[in-house]
Structure 1
Amino acid sequence: MLAKGLAMGVDNRQIQTAVLADPESDDPVVCPTDSDELDEFREEFADTTFWCGILLGGCGGQLTTRRGNVRVSHFAHFPDPDELLPECGRRSRGVASADHLYVRTATQTWLRRQGHAPRYRYIDRDDAPVGSLVEIELDGYTLLLHMDPATPPDWDAAQAGDIILGPGVQVDHRTLARRGHVNRIKFVSEGNQRVMMLGTELPYVGTDWDFELADCTVDEHGRLITPVVTRAEAARAAAERAPVPRPRSEKTEGPVQIGTLTRLINTAVQKKEIAAVRQLRDTAQLQIPRCESQALEHLQRAIDRASGLIDEQDHARRRLFAQLDEAVRHAHVYKVTTLTPHVRRFVQGDAPITPQETGILNAADTFLRDAREQAARRQRAAEERRVAVAREREAHHAAKAEEHKGRREAEAQERKARNRARGQVQHIAGRLRREPLSAEQQKLLVDELVCAAKEAGDRLSEAEQQKVDEWVARIVAPAEEPETAGNASPAAQPQLDAIMEPAKLPERLVPAVAAVRGALKKAARERTVTSWNRLEQQLGSALPSLTSNERVQVLVQVDRSAADDKPLLSSLLAAGDPHFAYQYYRHVLGALGLDAPDDDEDLRDVVEADAEQVFTDWRLC
């Protein structure tokens, strides 16, 4: 019943990540959301404890796994009735909340194979909460991983190593163009683990994730080198060695004003109108023989600026076409899809495309058309598989539901039979206690009592089984004094004394009433059930050892002194201890003038409803 009390709302947090062994561990784990996978997870980690880790931003409390009925399966905190732990701020934290701890798991072996001795530090400060930044120290250099978009990188301050961006961390276009590339990481789930993926983002291209961690290295300057970085630097070096195109020679039509031409070139360069800059530069180069002195100096300066812009444009154009050609040859669908429209926009308003460039664009268009057709075929095949799997799953679920229904009906029939047998036990015991019977009649009834008790099985309470045993012992024991045995009444069984009125309550029980009332109110506010043993541990000397009758008297006074519109606080004890419900709670209800069902199943429903009403009413207080 305690677990049911928790499900009623004591702990409504959904926590998907934890650490193993102790609160300060940096060994993370993810709770499976599927109920079937949760069973395998519990078996795998049967000898390990789970904690709300400090490095996860948690409270340091111990966690347990909880199977989800309405919600997904998740970690949940152990109850803290003494309120010793601080309030935990990790509410509805997903699997990504532990990604900064998986950095060590993913990179440690890889770095050691390269001869490095990595040391990991999880930065925790006011402007960067734990999990935002992870430092990997390598022989005097640092790899700084930015995991949180809310903590922007300081590109100018990072001089000792390399900066790597996590999911969602943005880099502005100017910084990306100046650096030439930025490396990124992201994590994907595989079972109850998170797997790290590396990628490299290039200007105008996007991020390439199509390589393995084993293909990457950290060089002697502490820089992360991926295959994309290697290709980009090689292409940049080749482009710098390429010859600059010779200017076009065109005849000028009519006289040209040198000052006007200079201003036109400067304006076109400022607006980056590439086609106009090309034409004006070629015209200006033809006018150089006509110029001298200061006019020649101004015109030459304008020509140099125009040539610089054209060189940058030509360099970027060659790089983009080379990347597009390589993406087509290596069948990288995402790259081709991203680069093709960008290349077309880039060459608009510029010099006409060459035959070689036309061939690259045509090859890209053909590749994309084929890729779309293949994707459509794969989608149709996947949809057919999905439909087939759905049908199979539906048939399986129908069979399981039918099997479960049959099992439930059988269990219900068995439970009814045991309840009937239990009722028969109570009826026979009542006859033995009330009716004057001969020894032979008593023996026959006791035989029937034993058969009924055997059929009732675990549906009998401890007190009911004790009564059966007493009657069996009484029948089989030899009568020492026939006269006494004949006159003795079977009604002399242990019974609860009459419930005392408040004025007659012993003075020594008055403090116990106040202590129990306070403990039950605290449990109601915390939306949890309890038991008498737990009350004794919690209250200590304030709750002395009491007889069964004294316990009932105390609980009657607790609920009798409550407000008339409040439900019974003692229902929290009955919900937390079914044996208490059957043995005492009926007496409490009877003493308060309330009806108690004879059937234990009905009584259990009443107890659960009363406990839920207690939680509802005390939440509003």
Structure 2
Amino acid sequence: MNSADHLYVKSAATAWASSRGTRAAIDFAQPDGSPMGSVVDIRLVHKKLRVHLDRSVAPQWDGEHEPVLGVSVPVDQDTLIKRWYVNRIRLDSEGTSRRVRIGTEAFARPTEWFSLDECEMTERGLSNPAVERIVQSRSTPPPSIRVTLRDRKQPDARTRAHVLFRRIEEARLVGAVVVVTRVSHALEALEGADQETQAQINTVLEDATVWLQKQAVARQEMFSRLSDAAAGGDVQETRGLLAHVNAIAAHDRTDTETQTAAAAAAFLAGALREQEKTARRLNAAAEAKEEARRRTAWEKANAVARVRTTLRTLRRNGRTMLGTEKGRKVAMLADLADKVGDQLTRSEINQIKAWKARVQRERKPATELPVRRNHAPEPSPKSDRNRNTDTGQ
């Protein structure tokens, strides 16, 4: 199935209903743990359709929705015979878009395909020219004709037997268990057969019995595999087998078969709930991780902005700024540079280093400065003359 086919179906169904003056409510249902897009429910005014785009969900022929099957969804011949026909859907690529086409499949007839514009919704359900012909042929009684003595003459037992032989062979070829069983009963009840024809009937019945037994064994094995897959927790195997048994073994189920199918459906529903819980947990963890990444990125961007603002302030006012204020700002620059150094330019890093060095120079204690030694003043010439006078020299 194309990953967007359910969206194309929704768009086409909405447009089709609108063109007929009505509305269609579309829902992407997920019964039995099926993935999103496997099933599209279309609710019209008086009818409901369920479009099965893949095999994930088995059609329910006696449910409230009329099934419309994708081209890959199987249908057993017994269902075709019982229902007269089934409608199918396919999506053909046209450029970058997909066009919906509706087909009708009947027993022993090829599927006929029509555009969506050729389809209508009737009291019976989704209809097209092929459906109308099938319903008309099933509903119209044969024309009455004058019955003659020759017309009243029934085919002999040999002819009737050979007709039934062909029907049972055709039914076996398509795997129609119900038809094989029904025709076998008709052969058993056939009267008036000669010895040779009766021998042929007996042979055909024996072969049919063996075939039916093999089908029963295969059916039993299939339900057993379904039970094992569900018990073993194999979601993919269970989903595939459940779709298969619902397609080819939907009728005349035993209590055990019904319980097996119900348990498998319950397992798939539970698995879907667990998948949804896991998905929610993973989404929550991913969202938390993304939130942390965004917060870290915001903090780094904010720190870089503070570095650049502080550098501009120091360039403008650094010479006249008080030493304590200048030291605080340079200390902040050094701390921020350690955190976001990879976000700064080489020039900015060099400026921070230069300011750190400058503050360190300005903070050197006075004891580290060179000391100028004091010398006694030399006596002036006047002082020398006074001393000489006093000594009488």
| Range class of TM-score, shorter chain | 0.3 to 0.5
Higher normalized contact order (CA 8 Å, seq sep 6+, divided by chain length): 2
Larger radius of gyration: 2
Give the TM-score normalised by structure 2. 0.41
